[in-house]
């Protein structure tokens, strides 16, 4: 599944555009850009973990008959989509790293 920038930005908009805990406004140069990129990846992974936990809770509720089947299925689909997005981002990062390593010095 190819991942174009528009799909990536709309899918990760809510995760990546959260305000930082420190509240500092570091503008994209030097270590600030690296730290904010790392924080964005961390928030993305935290979001995947949270959606997985929500899906597990919904499945447990479905088994106990306290949660509707539709809600459980929606939670499972959200978890699957967030996991697929994370895998695609990882694949793009690995591909970029490999391309940089192939560059002549």
Higher pLDDT: 15 or 39? It is 39
Distances (CA, A) of 41 to 36, 87, 96: 9, 12, 16
C-alpha 18/C-alpha 36 separation (Å) is: 11
- 25 part of a folded domain: no
Residue 30 confidence (pLDDT) above 70? no
What average pLDDT score do residues 18-46 get?
Answer: 65
Structural domain contains residue 67: yes
* 3 assigned to some structural domain: no
Exposed (0-12), middle (13-18) or buried (19+): which is 35, by Cβ within 10 Å?
Answer: middle
68 in a structural domain: yes
Count the domains in the chain: 1
* pTM: predicted TM-score of the whole model, two decimal places: 0.61
Task: Answer whether residue 94 is part of any domain.
Answer: yes
Give pLDDT tens digits for 36-81.
Answer: 888 988 999 999 999 999 999 999 999 998 989 999 999 999 999 9
pLDDT of residue 18: 47
Q: Would residue 104 count as lying in a domain?
A: yes
Domain carrying residue 70: 34-105
Assigned domain for 83 exists: yes
């Amino acid at each position: 599944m190819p991942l174009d920038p528009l799909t990536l930005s709309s899918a990760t908009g809510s995760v990546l555009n959260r305000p930082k805990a420190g509240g500092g406004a570091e503008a994209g140069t030097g270590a600030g850009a690296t730290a904010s990129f790392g924080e964005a990846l961390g928030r993305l992974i935290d979001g995947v973990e949270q959606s997985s936990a929500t899906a597990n809770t919904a499945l447990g509720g479905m088994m106990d008959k306290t949660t509707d089947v539709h809600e459980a299925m929606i939670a499972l689909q959200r978890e699957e989509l967030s996991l697929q997005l994370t895998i695609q981002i990882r694949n793009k990062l690995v591909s970029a790293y490999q391309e940089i390593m192939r560059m002549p010095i």
